[in-house]
Chains A and B, each alone.
Chain A
Amino acid sequence: QVQLVQSGAEVKKPGASVKVSCEASGYTFTTYYKHWLRQAPGQGLEWMGMINPSDGSTSYAQNFQGRVTMTRDTSTSTVYMELTSLRSEDTAVYYCARSYGAVHFDSWGQGTLLTVSS
């Protein structure tokens, strides 16, 4: 069955960087786009950007341009999201999700809690 398994919770200080991973299994890795989204405590969902695992091309939401980098490793079917210059407002659960073609998300990772605190 399709699984997206994310790395564990992180605690970072303001100004630091974080890199979260998402390992896919149960389907052909390069067939589906991967997206990163986040959800601040008690808040709604925010799309951060996406990566095409086939060629590594990316598209980022304007809110995160310059601070986010998404990469992939086809040998391990893993995508990564790195967020730099962290601030307290980045405290959230970060999700990876996949899409095929039209961009709705049919499978999600379990989420990774990032806490940014001094």
Chain B
Amino acid sequence: EIVLTQSPGTLSLSPGERATLSCRASQSVSYRYLAWYQQKPGQAPRLLIYGASSRATGIPDRFSGSGSGTDFTLTISRLEPEDFAVYYCQQYGSSPLTFGGGTKVEIK
């Protein structure tokens, strides 16, 4: 099973700042099969990025993903008020599908 470790656990930033979230895998993720999700309290997760760097439909271009192998990054170029939430990475290169523990982006 691939274990995904996200860091930091919490990121305290102000609107307009840049957010950089990390996701590290215990072994290489095949074909860059890595996705990122945003989750707000009381809501289901929302797909942001798939294939490590492809934005899902309707996702603003301030969200970008990068990385390969075992190291992946989600970057939010300029935080908007609605971006404060919890972010999860997920790998689908091998079964079982697994998620990271999440990074909470909170208002500083």
Interface size (B, Cβ < 8 Å)? Answer: 23
Could you tell me the distance between the alpha carbons of A46 and B3 in the complex, rounded to whole angstroms? 12
Evaluate contact between B98 and A102: CB separation under 8 angstroms: no
- Find chain A residues with CB under 8 A from B50 CB: 102, 104, 106
Q: A45-B88, A104-B90, A106-B56 are in contact. Are A59 and B95 (CB under 8 A)?
A: yes
Q: Identify which of residues 53-107 in chain A touch chain B, using a CB-to-CB cut-off of 8 Å.
A: 59, 61-63, 95, 97, 102-106
Interface of B is mostly: loop
Q: A102-B51, A104-B50 are in contact. Are A47 and B99 (CB under 8 A)?
A: yes
Interface check B105, CB cutoff 8 A: no
Interface check A110, CB cutoff 8 A: yes
Could you tell me the distance between the alpha carbons of A106 and B46 in the complex, rounded to whole angstroms? 7
Interface check A14, CB cutoff 8 A: no
- Find chain B residues with CB under 8 A from A97 CB: 44
- Find chain A residues with CB under 8 A from B101 CB: 44
Could you tell me the distance between the alpha carbons of A63 and B95 in the complex, rounded to whole angstroms? 12
Which chain B residue shows the least CB distance to A95? Answer: B44
Evaluate contact between B44 and A47: CB separation under 8 angstroms: no
Interface check B97, CB cutoff 8 A: yes
Which chain A residue shows the least CB distance to B34? Answer: A104
Evaluate contact between B45 and A47: CB separation under 8 angstroms: no
Interface check B92, CB cutoff 8 A: yes
Q: A47-B97, A47-B99 are in contact. Are A104 and B44 (CB under 8 A)?
A: no
Interface check A108, CB cutoff 8 A: yes
- Find chain A residues with CB under 8 A from B47 CB: 104-106
Q: Identify which of residues 6-59 in chain A touch chain B, using a CB-to-CB cut-off of 8 Å.
A: 35, 44-47, 59
CB distance from A99 to the nearest CB of B (A): 8
Q: 8 extra interchain contacts, Cβ-Cβ under 8 A, other than A44-B99, A44-B101? A: A44-B102, A45-B99, A47-B96, A63-B96, A103-B92, A104-B50, A108-B44, A110-B44
